Amino acid sequence: MVRRARKINRELAELYPYAHPELDFENPFELLVATVLSAQTTDLRVNQTTPVLFAKYPTPEDMAAAVPEELEEIIRPTGFFRAKARSLLGLSAALRDRFGGEVPGRLEDLVTLPGVGRKTANVVLGNAFGVPGITVDTHFGRLARRFGWTAEEDPEKVEAAVAEIFPKSEWTMLSHRVVFHGRRVCHSRKPACGACPIAPLCPSYGEGETDPEKARKLLKYELGGQPGQRLRPPAGYPGQAAAPGAGGAAGPGAAAGDGQGEVA
């Protein structure tokens, strides 16, 4: 199983050499806020919302002093906006009061912030601080079980099980590759098995559409010839940038579980 798992990771690395966080951000604070907002919505919807948000509240001090109703109105398109506003106000105040206005680079500190659990902390650590971490969102958990890496449902148990299989140096990029594959090919309801390059390695092959032509029509984002989720994708991304006002419905019905954040 370990040999097969590591081969899957190598195959995914060849398939997605451009794998990256799909949230637009310029600094650790922006990534932390965007990840909290990503709970129960799409990264695209978050990316369409944060330019106005960060223009108005560029620092933790600014956001901590925000009028709650004004903050809620800006983030309303991401859904669950009242709970998310409480988290953003709370974490911003904590950063101001306990961490000198800076996002801490330790997991044990990050998880003390309102609205921040291990998933969010690992996203920030891996992508803003270069600290390896496994991000277990709904996509990662689903694929870890389909690949036979674990039978666990609890995200922390999935994280622990997968951490035993792969070297620490691979954890952050492994997370990106698996999430990319889950969003583009190995979908929740109808995986595109017939168009999946790692199908020969997958013990769950056949759960989805196996006809190659039909399966190709299920591919999403750049693999399906559609824009990605980022308005400002990194250099080397082969797909199209998303439009500032395009795509996705707000709220819990948008793409529940597509994001990686937690809401307290």
**What is the Cα–Cα distance from 217 to 135, expressed in whole angstroms?**
28
Please give the annotated binding residues for [4Fe-4S] cluster, written as ranges: 186, 193, 196, 202
Of 24, 43, 84, 119, the active-site residue reads 119
Residue 214 bears catalytic tag: no
Residue 157 bears catalytic tag: no
Of 24, 43, 84, 137, the active-site residue reads 137
Please give the annotated binding residues, written as ranges: 186, 193, 196, 202
Cβ neighbours for 86, distance < 8 A, ≥ 6 positions apart:
68, 114, 115, 264
Q: Write out the catalytic residue numbers.
A: 119, 137
